[in-house]
Amino acid sequence: MKNIHSADELFSVLNKMNKDNSVSQFLIPGKGKFTLVYQEVENPIDEEIESDQELKNLIHESLAAYERGEYQTTSELLASLSKEKF
């Protein structure tokens, strides 16, 4: 059983999990023992996109704008917001 001491170690465990490596047991000191079970989910967003033409168009338009460089980073967005706008 692996001891987890940081979020990075936990994310490392999560990143290694897949359909073939679907169960991980670890100990977080001070918290206890954990058993994590990976359950693969089909891409439900794909089904929703296919069933909603307006959503499909919106996503395609957004991807095209991103590819053209027409986007704003989160930092830029937050910097552009002012208290006066709320």
pLDDT tens sequence across 6-19: 999 999 999 999 98
The phi and psi torsions of 37 (rounded to 5 degrees) equal: -115, 125
Domain shared by 74 and 49, yes or no: yes
Q: What is the pTM of this model?
A: 0.47
Domain shared by 31 and 49, yes or no: no
Domain shared by 27 and 48, yes or no: no
pLDDT, averaged across the chain: 89
Q: How far apart are CA 72 and CA 75, in angstroms?
A: 8
Domain shared by 48 and 27, yes or no: no
pLDDT of 85 strictly over 70 = no
Domain shared by 27 and 11, yes or no: yes
Secondary structure of residue 51 in the 3-state scheme: helix
Residue numbers of the domain that contains 6: 2-37
